[in-house]
RNA sequence: CGAGGUGUAGCGCAGUCCGGUUAGCGCAUCUGGUUUGGGACCAGAGGGUCGGGGGUUCGAAUCCCUUCACCUCGACCA
């Protein structure tokens, strides 16, 4: 009765919105474009953070924190950068309120105008490079490998929970290096960290590649990306890593003494993933019954639901406690839901909505047979499993589910990548969704025309090969001009 | 910013066209009891500035003016 999702086939977008609300992940707030991330949604984000943070540290990075506010003048120092972000900045102009003389509440005190306005960071390159200038004198001070966990604000016209909000949470890495090669390698390395994280942890298959000039980060020399494919056939940019060259070092005059005793500008990279990954996670795996979570990110990995809990004997409760303890001992998070205000049927649906990977039901029948009913969320299969050794069974099952969820997504993604050689076919194929590999002459004009006419954008030039000859030269499907290799096109979020 | 739409109980809605007792319904909540293997049942209870302001009227959720907010779809973007 209460909670029914709009089926994906009926309205994918509505399904997504329903799911975010009904799985208790997030909700719209009183502030335009800003969401409240609810405890269950935040628990998933925390698991992502935890794993990413571990991976960053393992690759030699350290965490730091830089200010939320950026002096307006900083933003204009790198020409492309300001161009890219100027239209979506929140600006602080005053520092004080006062009571309205007419008694109608508070108003901004016009006396308290700031000398220089402050921008709420849309990203932190400028404040960080202004800071790095003081940290770097010699090659001995390099590399600097900093990350920060932060919130940023981009005043978007239209917002959607997790996918695009005015304020969002993310991490941003900002590194400084002696050489072109080292900074470039860092950008590549972090892209690999992201793709490993997406695939192994979130079970989201991604295509790694380089962005076209049009899609590149404002101020970067090259932008690398991981692109995921959602179930409705649209692409979602899920993480980016930028080789910044010496652009920010020049803008903020960050020079260092080289090993040869000369002065040179520092080479840079930056990289980030955001709460948008929550959107990717939801849209990659979930179904019409609700969220489907890979065991690695599930805040609750196993839920145990007693049947007729009030009729349980002390001996039965002891057996259940023993099972819980054995599962916990294996490092598996388990929730025992014995509240009697809800029926088992209600709970079955509720935990399916929330994507809990494994559900156990234990009732009178099971105590008679010495079994437990095990249900897996990914396939919705139910099995009766002996109570004895149930913990190992679950441990294996969780691993199996993690693998299965990834494989299912990978099969779908692969089935949606195809090669197209002429523009007419392209227009037909793009309607069906998915990734299309087609030859592109490398010009912004052709790219813009394709976007204008088909709403498809170049997601990236993939590093790996997907359809055999996609790394071979050819001719642009639209202009007929020579093309070095195929680009990956899709409609995107 | 363009085009549509919606604001009535915690949530979802009816009532508005055509003004008239005490503003309804479902879910949720609370109390008590019975239940429990796929969204239970019975009995009782609480909960409302009808988005805000102004006007018309004997009388406004309903008509008029004004204002605010939110949602969906476009253009912009992680």
Query: What average pLDDT does the segment A2-11 reach?
Result: 77
Domain CATH code at residue A467: 3.30.110.30
Which nucleotide comes closest to A361 if you measure CA to C1'?
Answer: B37
Residue A410 in any domain: the answer is no
Which nucleotide comes closest to A353 if you measure CA to C1'?
Answer: B39
A105 touches strand B (CB under 7 A): no
Q: Which of residues 304-343 of A touch strand B (CB under 7 A)?
A: 307-311, 340-343
From A139-143, A188-192, A358-362, A452-456, the region with the lowest mean pLDDT: A452-456
What pLDDT, on the 0 to 100 scale, is given for residue A3?
63
- A17 and A81 part of one domain: yes
Residue A246 in any domain: the answer is yes
- A275 and A307 part of one domain: no
Q: What are the pLDDT digits (tens) for A150-190?
A: 999 988 878 888 998 888 999 999 999 999 999 999 999 99
A158 touches strand B (CB under 7 A): yes
- A263 and A307 part of one domain: no
Query: Which protein residue's Cα is closest to nucleotide B11 at C1'?
Result: A2
What pLDDT, on the 0 to 100 scale, is given for residue A1?
34
CA of A276 to C1' of B25 (A): 39
- A311 and A179 part of one domain: no
CA of A300 to C1' of B10 (A): 27
Q: Is the pLDDT of residue A196 over 90?
A: yes
A217 touches strand B (CB under 7 A): yes
Residue A290 in any domain: the answer is no
Q: Using CA atoms, how far apart are residues A342 and A17, in angstroms rounded to an integer? A: 25
Q: What are the pLDDT digits (tens) for A262-313?
A: 999 999 999 999 999 999 999 999 999 999 999 999 999 999 999 998 888 9
Domain CATH code at residue A197: 3.30.930.10
Q: Is the pLDDT of residue A226 over 90?
A: yes
Q: What are the pLDDT digits (tens) for A90-120?
A: 888 889 888 777 666 677 888 899 999 999 9
- A253 and A111 part of one domain: yes
A155 touches strand B (CB under 7 A): no
What pLDDT, on the 0 to 100 scale, is given for residue A296?
98
Query: What average pLDDT does the segment A31-46 reach?
Result: 90
What pLDDT, on the 0 to 100 scale, is given for residue A103?
63
In contact, A460 and A227? CB cutoff 8 Å: yes
- A62 and A117 part of one domain: yes
> Could you say which of A230, A251, A285 is where a domain stops?
A285
Q: Is the pLDDT of residue A472 over 70?
A: yes
Tell me the pLDDT band of A2, cut-offs 50, 70 and 90: very low
- A28 and A152 part of one domain: yes
Residue A243 in any domain: the answer is yes
Q: What are the pLDDT digits (tens) for A359-389?
A: 999 999 999 999 999 999 999 999 999 999 9
Average pLDDT, chain A: 93
Token pair of A250 as six digits: 């020049």
- A217 and A97 part of one domain: yes
Q: What is the 3-state secondary structure (H, E, C) of chain A?
A: CCCCCCCCCCCHHHHHHHHHHHCCCEEECCCCCCEEECHHHHHHHHHHHHHHHHHHHHCCCEECCCCCEEEHHHHCCCHHHHHHHHHHCCEEEECCEEECCCCCCEEECHHHEEEEEEEECCCCHHHHHHHHHHHCCEHHHCCEEEEEEEEEECCCCCCECCCECCEEEEEEEEEEECCHHHHHHHHHHHHHHHHHHHHHHCCCCEEEEECCCCCCCCCCCEEEEEEEECCCCCEEEEEEEEEEECHHHHHCCCEEECCCCCEEECEEEEEEEECHHHHHHHHHHCECCECCCCHHHCCCCEEEEECCHHHCCHHHHHHHHHHHHHHHHCCCCEEECCCCCCCHHHHHHHHHHCCCCEEEEECHHHHHHCEEEEEECCCCCEEEEECCCHHHHHHHHHHHHHHHHHHHHHHHHHHCEEECCCHHHHHHHHHCCCEEEEECCCCHHHHHHHHHHHCCEEEEEECCCCCCCCCCCEECCCCCCEECCEEEEECEC
Tell me the pLDDT band of A222, cut-offs 50, 70 and 90: very high
Domain CATH code at residue A317: 3.40.50.800
What pLDDT, on the 0 to 100 scale, is given for residue A147?
98
Range of the domain at A163: 12-285
Q: What are the pLDDT digits (tens) for A327-354?
A: 999 999 999 999 988 999 999 999 999 9
- A58 and A107 part of one domain: yes
CA of A311 to C1' of B38 (A): 20
Q: What are the pLDDT digits (tens) for A413-431?
A: 999 999 999 999 999 999 8
Q: What are the pLDDT digits (tens) for A436-446?
A: 999 999 999 99
Q: Is the pLDDT of residue A4 over 80?
A: no
- A161 and A225 part of one domain: yes
What pLDDT, on the 0 to 100 scale, is given for residue A27?
83
A87 touches strand B (CB under 7 A): yes
What pLDDT, on the 0 to 100 scale, is given for residue A142?
98
- A52 and A156 part of one domain: yes
What's the structural domain count of chain A? Answer: 3
Nucleotides of B under 7 A from a protein CB: 1, 27-30, 35-40, 69-78
Q: Is the pLDDT of residue A483 over 90?
A: yes
A163 touches strand B (CB under 7 A): yes
> Could you say which of A231, A250, A285 is where a domain stops?
A285
A240 touches strand B (CB under 7 A): yes
- A215 and A125 part of one domain: yes
Residue A119 in any domain: the answer is yes
CA of A228 to C1' of B33 (A): 54
> Could you say which of A255, A285, A315 is where a domain stops?
A285
Residue A5 in any domain: the answer is no
Which nucleotide comes closest to A272 if you measure CA to C1'?
Answer: B78
Q: Using CA atoms, how far apart are residues A177 and A193, in angstroms rounded to an integer? A: 19
A398 touches strand B (CB under 7 A): no
Q: What percent of chain A has pLDDT over 70?
A: 99
A363 touches strand B (CB under 7 A): yes
ipTM above 0.95, yes or no: no
Residue A346 in any domain: the answer is yes
Token pair of A357 as six digits: 């990977």
A382 touches strand B (CB under 7 A): yes
Residue A30 in any domain: the answer is yes
Tally of CB atoms within 10 A around A21: 16
């Amino acid at each position: 009765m209460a909670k029914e999702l709009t089926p994906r086939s009926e309205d994918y977008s509505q399904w997504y919105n329903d799911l975010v609300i009904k799985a208790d992940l997030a909700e719209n707030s009183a502030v335009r474009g800003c969401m409240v991330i609810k405890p269950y949604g935040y628990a998933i984000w925390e698991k992502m953070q935890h794993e990413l943070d571990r991976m960053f540290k393992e690759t030699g990075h350290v965490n730091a924190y830089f200010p939320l506010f950026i002096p307006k003048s900083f933003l204009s120092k790198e020409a492309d950068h300001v161009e890219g972000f100027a239209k979506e900045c929140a600006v602080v102009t005053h520092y004080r309120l006062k009571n309205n003389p007419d008694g109608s509440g508070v108003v901004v005190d016009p006396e308290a105008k700031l000398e220089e306005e402050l921008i709420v960071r849309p990203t932190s390159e400028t404040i960080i490079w202004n800071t790095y200038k003081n940290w770097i004198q010699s090659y001995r001070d390099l590399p600097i490998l900093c990350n920060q966990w932060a919130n940023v604000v981009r005043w978007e016209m239209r917002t959607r929970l997790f996918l695009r909000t005015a304020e969002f949470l993310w991490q941003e890495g900002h590194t400084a290096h002696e050489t072109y090669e080292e900074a470039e390698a860092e950008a590549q390395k972090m892209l690999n960290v992201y793709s490993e994280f997406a695939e192994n942890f979130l079970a989201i298959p991604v295509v790694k590649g380089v962005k076209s000039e049009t899609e590149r980060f404002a101020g970067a020399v090259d932008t690398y990306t991981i692109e995921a494919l959602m179930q409705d056939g649209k692409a979602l940019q899920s993480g980016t890593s930028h080789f910044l060259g010496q652009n920010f070092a020049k803008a903020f005059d960050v020079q260092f003494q080289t090993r040869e005793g000369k002065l040179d500008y520092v080479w840079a990279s930056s990289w980030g993933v955001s709460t948008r990954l929550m959107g990717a996670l939801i849209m990659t795996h979930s179904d019409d019954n609700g969220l489907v979570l890979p065991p690695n990110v599930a805040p609750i990995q196993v839920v145990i639901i007693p049947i007729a809990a009030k009729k349980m004997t002390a001996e039965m409760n002891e057996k259940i406690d023993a099972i819980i303890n054995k599962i916990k001992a294996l490092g598996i998070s388990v929730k025992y839901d014995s509240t009697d205000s809800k029926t088992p049927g209600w709970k079955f649906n509720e935990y399916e909505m929330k994507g809990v990977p494994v559900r156990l039901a234990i009732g009178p029948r099971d105590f008679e047979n010495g079994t437990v009913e095990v249900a897996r969320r990914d396939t919705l299969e139910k099995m009766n499993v002996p109570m004895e050794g149930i913990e190992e069974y679950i441990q294996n099952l969780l691993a199996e589910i993690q693998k299965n969820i990834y494989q299912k997504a990978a099969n779908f993604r692969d089935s949606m990548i195809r090669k197209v050689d002429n523009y007419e076919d392209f227009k037909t194929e793009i309607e069906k969704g998915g990734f299309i590999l087609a030859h592109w002459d490398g010009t912004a004009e052709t790219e813009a025309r394709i976007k204008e006419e088909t709403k498809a954008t170049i997601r990236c030039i993939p590093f790996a090969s997907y359809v055999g000859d996609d790394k071979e030269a050819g001719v642009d499907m639209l202009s007929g001009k020579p093309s070095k290799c195929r680009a990956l096109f899709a409609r995107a979020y």
